[in-house]
Structure 1
Amino acid sequence: MLDRSVPHTFAGASRRRRLTQAAAIAVTALTAVGLAACSSSTGGSGVSTPAAGATAPGNPTSGTITWWASPITTSGTDPRTVLISAFEKAYPNIKVNLVSAPNDTDTNRATLTTQISGGGGPDVYMGDVIWPAQFGAHQLAVPLSKYLPKSYWDMFAQGLVQGATYKNQVYGAPFFEDQGFLYYRKDLLQKYNLPVPTTWEQLVTDAKKVQAAGAVKDGYVFQGANYEGATCNFMEFLADAGGTVLNSDQTKSTLDSAAADKALAFEQSLVTSGVSPQAESTYQETQSMNAFAAGDALFLRNWDYAYGQSQASGSKVVGKVGVAPMPTFSGQPTPGYSNIGGWNLYINPHSKNIAADVTFIKWMTGNDAQTTLATQFSEIPTNATVRSSADVKKANPVLAIVSETKLVPRPAQTPDYPQVSKAIYTAVNGVLAGSAQPKAAITKASADIDSALGGGL
């Protein structure tokens, strides 16, 4: 993950790779358990959230909470116990019992759906940012915006609340997040007197110049394999081009557009021009990270852990790596968009003390807890004020720029998101592999999305 000189750097990387692979089988898992019924960091929810009008049942300052949370790290001090200890000092009459959830996101989700649909489960649970619609549609999570006012949601970096919303209700409180960053060889840009690119066009120009000089094999490596990561990358290009995937009520695809054609054609051109490798259609996070750490690439798109990996023992680019917000297309406001990963906090509808659960969530997303996550554990805070604080910015190079980035969620505001994502990453992968052309691939993906939204897939 980030350069914090502790072993759990690599646990963060594994956790995020499992996270991006999880979406593809989400609906299968939900169905199998037999249910009765997945920035401009200046604050703001990015969506119109309903005003909270209900009082949460229970006692907001007393009781016991069972918190289901997978390990945030796998070595060193456990952030979960640090946060629990601080919370219990702030609220001495609330006891928090930690249940360590499975590391594997699919197993985690399947276990929760089984427990909650059966009337049990934890009070509060940590879950993927792509779960809100899936869990909300099946009554596996409480609509938090029923109890928390718009002013609460306005404190988060833009894009985060939109991703946690289903049918105009917010189901997940953003806990900590991940996002795409542009990593670059600062030594080579300096050597060839090149700027850090703020546009995709400049990135291509820079890459071709350094490649032509024989300094690197690849100009830009990213994630184009046939899996969720390709959806994440495409969402950044699509948002930069001004496109969307779903209409406002998530009932119809809006993907078949000039913006989507532009986004996918540009991805294709990265490979056909030689800026990106021919094998890009097989690249997940590991392959792109390995190429960059081996000194074979000038630019890398990856998640926040990549800086730490680039500075780890065995890397050939130690001391040579810079990090910047993602680029955008020429003529668009900079920077470009970063796709959102990470974790939310959810409340089980069967909890006996939702008021205490809400207190816990508010504290975990407040300034103290978010500052601890950022400065002690280098997790990206969701709280916009904390993201822009001096203490957080000086923690490491990634956190230094996170408040300058713009966020775009995946189109996960529908319970059919796994099929939506599959349609996207199948299209992207086919084009990168040379078996399809952008416009035809987009048209087919859009039709597949409409079919999924209509219950046809």
Structure 2
Amino acid sequence: MPTFPRGAITAVGCAVLLASLTACGSSSSAKPISAPVGPASGTITWYANQFGPTSTDVRKTLIAAFEKANPKIKVKLEQAPSDSDAYRSTLTTQISGGSSSFDVYNGDVVWPAQFGKAGLAEPLSGKLPSSYWKTFSPGLVDGLTYKGKIMAAPLFTDNAFLYYRKDLLAKAHLPVPTTWEQVQSDAQKLQKAGLVKYGYSAQWDSYEGLTCDYSEFAADAGGSVVNTAGTKSEIDSAASQKALTYMRGLITSGVAPRAITTFQEQQSEQLFTSGQSAFLRNWTYAYSDANSPAASKVAGKIGIANLPTFAGQSGHGYSVTGGWNLYVNPHSKHLGADLAFVKWITSPAAQKIMALKGGEIPTVSSVLQDPGVQAANPAFRVAASNKLISRPSQVAEYSQVSQGVYGNVNAALSGSTSPKSALAAANKTISAAVSNNGL
């Protein structure tokens, strides 16, 4: 994600927001460094937390394959802290201090603008051709830009999905819902028939996860949190009002439990895997969890689909992107080798390894569309048709923006304020945060 319930920095995609994130955007005087490229040779250090299955280290598999394809470059793996706070703090301290002890590092999807403003990452857009950026799944590169420069490359991604009870829909002769209105009406039918206690479960606690969930609903309604440039709040709109009113309506109608306003990933998943909810919004890993006989009472009865959209909108709904990126240390002395490594590890060959051996959703569109890759995980097949949006990570003050979203949205969902008042309050907070974006 950052990522949520797994506790470490893993591949889930949207972790608990770090309270200290503003520190990386505090150095408004920092200037992006444009280092000479140099030869694609020598030894570089990859500073990376582990991702993928704990039984195997896919990073070592990737390094071996890279060195075979690039015999003039050696890669030294340096273990990064598994705790997100510690990792970010270490990166900030070392890079801002001028350290070149590592060359390429993994980083969260919400860091590009923050790290760009603080001078903690080497801009990549001018060093890799435009054709390279077009290889990624649509929507992935959108959140990597700061002041017109792409600050990172997508390493692996995570998506959100709609999980549903196949057996309950079959009993009620209902199709898989494609609109949010259908989710609500179908849930009420299942509840009225006594087939399930609750209709819907998601992550609506006052934390980063709610920023993700709300951003998806807002996009489905035709709205957004901020504008594309990250310079203006757009949360106080008719589209946002529609999204938030619908979310609140799931609670007041009894489709979602009132306790959903305290749910993070683990709680929302437990309600679903215990058989108490018909639908669940969650990340990729939830499919295997829900189908694990040891951990789920509904194993074998679970379906996975794209998130719905609102009636009248085309296609299906949006998924916020999670996952991790590759950044380059602006103090690296081996930029040529760094770029070769970044380009290779985001190539189809490496992304296929990432998918088949690491279990991560590949970022390269052609790999995600590969039938062999899709066959490895039902979530990959659905992800191939997902519509992706980024959180407002193009704002260097992302921490304040996210807090403005989840704090006020949670208040409206809890019933302590109206959707209209919540959006006005969020707009005030977000407007203050974005006023200095890029300065």
TM-score tier by shorter-chain length is over 0.9
CA distance in 1, matches of 2:305, 2:435: 40
CA distance in 2, matches of 1:16, 1:204: 30
Residue of structure 1 equivalent to 2:272: 292
Residue of structure 2 equivalent to 1:197: 177
Residue of structure 1 equivalent to 2:326: 345
Provide the secondary structure at the position in 1 that maps to 2:280.
strand
* TM-score normalised by the chain length of structure 1: 0.90
Residue of structure 2 equivalent to 1:128: 108
CA distance in 1, matches of 2:9, 2:228: 34
Query: CA offsets per residue over residues 260-305 of structure 1, 9 Å max, x none?
Result: 1111111100101111001111000010011111011000000101
Residue of structure 1 equivalent to 2:348: 367
Q: CA 1:11/1:253 → structure 2, altered by over 3 Å: closer, same or farther? A: closer
Query: CA offsets per residue over residues 365-408 of structure 1, 9 Å max, x none?
Result: 10111011111222000000001001111001101211111001
CA distance in 1, matches of 2:168, 2:197: 13
Residue of structure 1 equivalent to 2:124: 144
1:291-370 alignment runs, 5 A limit: 291-312=271-292, 313-370=294-351
In structure 2, which of residues 364, 367, 373 is the aligned counterpart of residue 392 of structure 1?
A: 373
The aligned amino acid for 2:158 is: D
Shift of 1:25: 2.8
CA distance in 1, matches of 2:248, 2:262: 14
Equivalent residues of 2:226, 2:392 under 8 A apart: yes
CA distance in 2, matches of 1:29, 1:165: 16
Shift of 1:14: 7.0
CA distance in 2, matches of 1:19, 1:100: 21
Equivalent residues of 1:101, 1:108 under 8 A apart: yes
Q: CA 1:57/1:110 → structure 2, altered by over 3 Å: closer, same or farther? A: same
Shift of 1:420: 0.4
Provide the secondary structure at the position in 2 that maps to 1:99.
strand
Give the % identical residues.
50
Q: CA 1:432/1:17 → structure 2, altered by over 3 Å: closer, same or farther? A: farther
Equivalent residues of 1:67, 1:99 under 8 A apart: yes
Shift of 1:441: 0.5
In structure 2, which of residues 198, 206, 211 is the aligned counterpart of residue 231 of structure 1?
A: 211
Aligned length: 429
Q: Which stretches in structure 1 are left out of the alignment for 5+ residues?
A: 1-9, 38-53
CA distance in 1, matches of 2:9, 2:289: 12
CA distance in 2, matches of 1:363, 1:24: 34
Shift of 1:223: 0.6
CA distance in 2, matches of 1:171, 1:23: 20
* 1:109 is the counterpart of 2:88: yes
In structure 1, which of residues 99, 106, 128 is the aligned counterpart of residue 78 of structure 2?
A: 99
Provide the secondary structure at the position in 1 that maps to 2:401.
helix
CA distance in 2, matches of 1:108, 1:406: 30
- Superposed CA RMSD: 2.0
Residue of structure 1 equivalent to 2:16: 21
Query: CA offsets per residue over residues 410-432 of structure 1, 9 Å max, x none?
Result: 01101111000000001111011
CA distance in 2, matches of 1:247, 1:362: 30
The aligned amino acid for 1:98 is: L
* 1:68 is the counterpart of 2:47: yes
Shift of 1:122: 1.4
CA distance in 2, matches of 1:323, 1:116: 41
Equivalent residues of 1:340, 1:407 under 8 A apart: yes
CA distance in 2, matches of 1:13, 1:29: 21
CA distance in 1, matches of 2:145, 2:25: 19
Equivalent residues of 2:180, 2:310 under 8 A apart: yes
Provide the secondary structure at the position in 1 that maps to 2:15.
helix
Provide the secondary structure at the position in 1 that maps to 2:54.
coil
CA distance in 1, matches of 2:96, 2:228: 29
Residue of structure 2 equivalent to 1:263: 243
Provide the secondary structure at the position in 1 that maps to 2:141.
helix
The aligned amino acid for 2:331 is: H
The aligned amino acid for 1:156 is: F
Shift of 1:314: 2.6
Residue of structure 2 equivalent to 1:222: 202
Q: CA 1:276/1:11 → structure 2, altered by over 3 Å: closer, same or farther? A: closer
